[in-house]
Chains A and B, each alone.
Chain A
Amino acid sequence: MKTDILNKRNIGISAHIDSGKTTLTERILFYCKKIHKMHEVKGKDGVGATMDSMELERERGITISSASTNVEWSEHSINIIDTPGHVDFTIEVERALRVLDGAILVLCSVGGVQSQTITVDRQLRRYDVPVLAFINKLDRVGANPIKVKNQLSENLSHNAVLMQFPIGLEDDLRGLVDLVRMKAVYFDGTDGENIRYEDIPADLINEARVRREEMLDAVSMFSDELMEAVLEDRVTEDQIKEAVRRGTIRRKLIPVFMGSAYKNKGIQLLLEAVVNYLPNPAEVENVAQAIEEEGKEVKLAADPDAPCVALAFKLEDSSYGQLTYIRIYQGSVRRGTELYNARTRKTFRVGRLIRMHADKMDDIEEAACGDIVVLFGIDCASGDTFTDPGLNLTMTSIYVPEPVISLALAPADSKSSSSMAKALNRFTKEDPTFRAHVDPESKQTIIQGMGELHLDVYVERMRREYKAEVQTGKPQVAYRETIGERASFDYTHKKQTGGAGQYAKVVGRIEPLAEGNFEFRNEIKGAKIPREFIPSCEKGFRHALEKGPTIGFPIIGIKVTLVDGLSHDVDSSDIAFQTAAREAFKQAYHRAKPFVLEPIMKVSVEGPAEFVGSIFGSLNQRRGIIVSSVEDGLFARVDAEVPLSEMFGYSNALRTLTQGKAEFTMEFLKYGKAPAHIAEALQNEYEEKKKN
């Protein structure tokens, strides 16, 4: 099928875990006639929702991978990227957001805006993704969509505008009032597939008028035409739609829809809103960077006949080999033609080209800009850019946070050893926040990631998908070292006994650097150190930072300034200056009041207000600084700064303390000075290790 770019939508469904996102996706697929029988996430019938394709996800009832699915709705082609909700897998969410043009923010009508909603919302802001809100679970006891809409405005500072309101709530949920059409909408049939428009019930007509007026007030800000029409009382549906669309695309407005995915209410109207209000790919500006022009930004044209630029945003293993999900930003991809990988500088031929449904696929001949499709058997990494040969462009690299936690792995037997290697190779390609390396000293395989659960999931996947039995060590926090004061160095490296001699002298200072890890400055007047050896000095300093002398972790926040030095015509060399720099650093480091840094996490705990005492207590026990606590009657959210080393096992502890009713999210905030007793313990540990 070839669709005009105006009729394409690439959308994500972003939400908090229990807001019913997967069920909603499932219903959307159903109404778009792609699947014929609906399942629930936690599958009472044991089949599980279609989007939830991984076995592990099925078991845990959460969606970890962002598979992309294509559906059609009223002559529009919609790609749905199912984004994971858990913060430990944030990179998956961010990567998905990168390729989206719009998103549905799903909220639970009972729980409302929760800490994960805030995280997801922040991510959507970062990528400037236009958003529709969908308040789900109107059938639940305690459903209060108006409260949730107010939370969107108050807690997230969104210009949220109700486009609908419910007819009945909880058990009594019958339908919705559509404020654009000014009609009552009912969803008949066993699966709610028959839409029936009626007059608004008499008892709701006043509320409908008030809410429509509120909506028009907010929306007319985006259209002079509508504003005039409102004043003259001759508003048309098209005028409203146009204004809502403008406000939404500019991210100045969030239209709020609602329903119950579980009870089959409101989904078709949401799809209609996706088509009406979210942007088509041509309405979103995308840029690439010119590799040979120092990253100069090049605007991409949403033109199917322009040279091709596409981004590989997701890899998946399948029985057919590696699947590569790509988003085409410019031009077209055709079967049998060649594409160029800007990172590897290699050209490859496009074999099969596939349009994906969660676990089913359609072969296609070509795909154009705005499309999300799948390539087969291409050797690449996630985040690679593919272009027509001759172009040398790369899409902006996706923001990748530094890992904060590591874990030692050991295969249980030799068979597991090779499958473990295979698995690690795959995972590191799939997920840039997941890293693996072999420690040169202990010879152990170390994996690194964003949190305990993040690493757990990969260890679990190794067992299940790769049959690799591995033993894991204790999770290890990524400590750092830094200095508290300026100190100078004056070091001469001299070795003139037999053979070629070595001579290098460096003089300068090291000092704390507020921003960044390392800065090197050369302030030597004249050519006391030949120019070619300055980079050698820098290299030597960098090398010294890799492993701090106090606890053996990398040193950060250092500025090195070279002010003087000496060289020898014969005996000075690259190696001599590297060695001098390294030793000079050590000399100064001990006098610069070095100390240990530990990662501090921003932790958000959320739960019923009755548990705030337990939450405060649990954070305090973990050396947490409570920054704030917000209560709105029933729920409380506590924000704190807690050292990562104290957060191990927190999810279990929190569950026990609050009868499973509270949950938390965390993300890296900053490095903070570790207390003396912790620094000492780490130092002793390091001394022990060095002895052995």
Chain B
Amino acid sequence: MVKTWLVKRSPLRILENALQGGLGKGNIAVLASRKGIGKTACLVHIALDRLFQDKPIIHVSYASRVDYIITWYEDIFKEIMKNRDAKAAAEIHDDLIRNRVIMNFKQDAARTERVLQSIEAMITAGKFAADTIIVDGYDFAAGTPEDLRKFREFAGKLGLELWFSASLRGEEPILDSKGFPLVLRPFLDEISVLITMVSRNDLVRLSLIKNKDAPAPGELPLKLDPRTLLIAE
């Protein structure tokens, strides 16, 4: 009950509608912003939304330690469940843990093939039927379009949605005239959906820059609440 309500009322439905029903299997979405804007919080919010729908997710992290990621989930979960029945929250929490696996890699030590092998092993040998993979902390500046192509083929093969974060560094401008991050240009063909997050007047605005083959609407009626770090209208 509580879960259905949470899913229905989630501001993420706005994003889903903008994407004509969602990202879709075999596709890669990238959430790009400068460091410290709240990409991880957004990804975790998206992951929790899946978990509320009883959809298992794998959270792949290239940068953070496992306990750090778990803390993110706990914090965002607590925010979402604020003012709700503690018993219901505890039950939902148990389900979440059952449906979430965290996989941690070092990008310089684990090649993309190795990472994909391990994820596949988790889904097949580990019988963990994930359909969404969160990939946080992947360094696009150090990666190649070839790597991302492998990710996309993998997503197609196993019917997965892949949500990446991309950290934008360096001096302005980091975006081109169409709002597309310069560092992601070589990866354009592999990315189906691109969302940028820009901080303006103490608010972080989400903009849909690439929307599969459909026209991209640009700024979405979504922001990241700087206090709760939740995506909100």
Partner of A620, one of B103, B105, B117, B128: B128
Shortest CB-to-CB span from B43 to chain A, Å, is 16
Shortest CB-to-CB span from B100 to chain A, Å, is 8
Q: How large is the interface on B (under 10, 10 to 19, 20 to 34, 35 or more residues)?
A: 20 to 34
- Chain A positions 271 through 291: 1 when the CB is less than 8 Å from some CB of chain B, otherwise 0: 000000000000000000000
Contact: A609 with B101, CB < 8 Å? Answer: no
Q: How large is the interface on A (under 10, 10 to 19, 20 to 34, 35 or more residues)?
A: 20 to 34
**A617 to B127 Cα, complex, angstroms:** 7
**Given known A609-B114, A630-B66, contact A620–B126 (CB-CB < 8 A):** yes
**A609 to B103 Cα, complex, angstroms:** 12
Contact: A616 with B110, CB < 8 Å? Answer: no
**A423 to B127 Cα, complex, angstroms:** 46
Residues 2-45 of B at the A interface (beta carbon under 8 Å): none
Which residues does chain A contribute within 8 Å of B124, judged by CB atoms? Answer: 613
Which residues does chain B contribute within 8 Å of A653, judged by CB atoms? Answer: none
Shortest CB-to-CB span from B59 to chain A, Å, is 9
**A632 to B66 Cα, complex, angstroms:** 13
**A639 to B114 Cα, complex, angstroms:** 19
Partner of B125, one of A154, A155, A613, A630: A613
The stretch of A531-539, A560-568, A621-629 that contacts the partner chain: A621-629
Shortest CB-to-CB span from A154 to chain B, Å, is 7
**Given known A627-B102, A632-B110, contact A617–B118 (CB-CB < 8 A):** no
**A505 to B106 Cα, complex, angstroms:** 66
Contact: A631 with B104, CB < 8 Å? Answer: yes
Contact: B97 with A627, CB < 8 Å? Answer: yes
Which residues does chain B contribute within 8 Å of A630, judged by CB atoms? Answer: 66, 103-105
**A619 to B101 Cα, complex, angstroms:** 13
**A154 to B106 Cα, complex, angstroms:** 12
Is the CB of A440 closer than 8 A to any CB of chain B?
A: no
Contact: A616 with B122, CB < 8 Å? Answer: yes
Is the CB of B78 closer than 8 A to any CB of chain A?
A: no
Partner of A626, one of B65, B105, B106, B122: B122
Q: Which residue of A lies closest to B126 (CB)?
A: A616
**A617 to B120 Cα, complex, angstroms:** 12
Which residues does chain A contribute within 8 Å of B66, judged by CB atoms? Answer: 627-628, 630, 639
Give how many A-B residue pairs fall within 8 Å (CB-CB): 74
Shortest CB-to-CB span from A486 to chain B, Å, is 12
Contact: B114 with A631, CB < 8 Å? Answer: yes
Contact: B101 with A626, CB < 8 Å? Answer: yes
Partner of B110, one of A617, A620, A631: A631
**A636 to B114 Cα, complex, angstroms:** 12
**A628 to B128 Cα, complex, angstroms:** 12
**A625 to B110 Cα, complex, angstroms:** 24
**Which of B97, B103, B124 has the largest number of chain A CB atoms within 10 A?**
B103
Contact: B128 with A629, CB < 8 Å? Answer: no
Contact: B121 with A632, CB < 8 Å? Answer: no
**A613 to B97 Cα, complex, angstroms:** 20
- Chain B positions 184 through 206: 1 when the CB is less than 8 Å from some CB of chain A, otherwise 0: 00000000000000000000000
Partner of A629, one of B98, B104, B106, B109: B104
Contact: B125 with A620, CB < 8 Å? Answer: yes
**Given known A154-B65, A625-B98, contact A633–B106 (CB-CB < 8 A):** yes
Is the CB of A71 closer than 8 A to any CB of chain B?
A: no
Contact: A629 with B103, CB < 8 Å? Answer: yes
Contact: B106 with A632, CB < 8 Å? Answer: yes
Which residues does chain A contribute within 8 Å of B65, judged by CB atoms? Answer: 154-155
**A636 to B126 Cα, complex, angstroms:** 15
Is the CB of A99 closer than 8 A to any CB of chain B?
A: no
**A314 to B188 Cα, complex, angstroms:** 67
Shortest CB-to-CB span from B212 to chain A, Å, is 31
Which residues does chain A contribute within 8 Å of B126, judged by CB atoms? Answer: 613, 616-617, 619-620, 626
Residues 110-168 of B at the A interface (beta carbon under 8 Å): 110, 114-115, 117-118, 121-122, 124-128
Is the CB of A354 closer than 8 A to any CB of chain B?
A: no
Shortest CB-to-CB span from A323 to chain B, Å, is 42
Residues 591-614 of A at the B interface (beta carbon under 8 Å): 609, 612-614
Contact: A628 with B103, CB < 8 Å? Answer: yes
Contact: A613 with B109, CB < 8 Å? Answer: no
**A309 to B153 Cα, complex, angstroms:** 69
Shortest CB-to-CB span from B17 to chain A, Å, is 33
**A631 to B103 Cα, complex, angstroms:** 8
Which residues does chain A contribute within 8 Å of B101, judged by CB atoms? Answer: 626-629
Which residues does chain B contribute within 8 Å of A609, judged by CB atoms? Answer: 110, 114, 118
Contact: B109 with A633, CB < 8 Å? Answer: yes
Shortest CB-to-CB span from B178 to chain A, Å, is 37
Residues 405-424 of A at the B interface (beta carbon under 8 Å): none
**A639 to B124 Cα, complex, angstroms:** 18
Which residues does chain B contribute within 8 Å of A619, judged by CB atoms? Answer: 126
**A508 to B98 Cα, complex, angstroms:** 37
Q: Which residue of B lies closest to A673 (CB)?
A: B94
Contact: B106 with A631, CB < 8 Å? Answer: yes
Shortest CB-to-CB span from B112 to chain A, Å, is 13
**Given known A154-B65, A620-B127, contact A629–B114 (CB-CB < 8 A):** no
**A165 to B98 Cα, complex, angstroms:** 44
Contact: A633 with B125, CB < 8 Å? Answer: no
Which residues does chain B contribute within 8 Å of A633, judged by CB atoms? Answer: 106, 109-110, 114
Shortest CB-to-CB span from B138 to chain A, Å, is 14
Which residues does chain A contribute within 8 Å of B122, judged by CB atoms? Answer: 612, 616, 626, 629
**A617 to B126 Cα, complex, angstroms:** 4
Partner of A614, one of B115, B125, B127, B128: B125
Shortest CB-to-CB span from A607 to chain B, Å, is 13
Which residues does chain B contribute within 8 Å of A613, judged by CB atoms? Answer: 117-118, 121, 124-126
**A109 to B23 Cα, complex, angstroms:** 45
**A154 to B109 Cα, complex, angstroms:** 15
**A630 to B70 Cα, complex, angstroms:** 14
Shortest CB-to-CB span from A690 to chain B, Å, is 33
Contact: A612 with B106, CB < 8 Å? Answer: no
Shortest CB-to-CB span from A521 to chain B, Å, is 21
Q: Which residue of B lies closest to A617 (CB)?
A: B125
Which residues does chain A contribute within 8 Å of B118, judged by CB atoms? Answer: 609, 612-613, 629, 631, 636
Q: Could you list some 8 contacts between A and B, CB below 8 A?
A: A612-B118, A616-B122, A628-B101, A631-B109, A632-B106, A633-B106, A633-B114, A639-B66
Instruction: Given contact pairs A627-B97, A630-B66, A631-B114, enumerate 5 new A-B contacts (beta carbons under 8 Å).
Output: A613-B126, A616-B122, A617-B126, A630-B104, A633-B106
Closest 8 A/B residue pairs (Cβ)? A633-B109, A616-B126, A613-B121, A617-B125, A628-B102, A613-B125, A630-B104, A628-B66
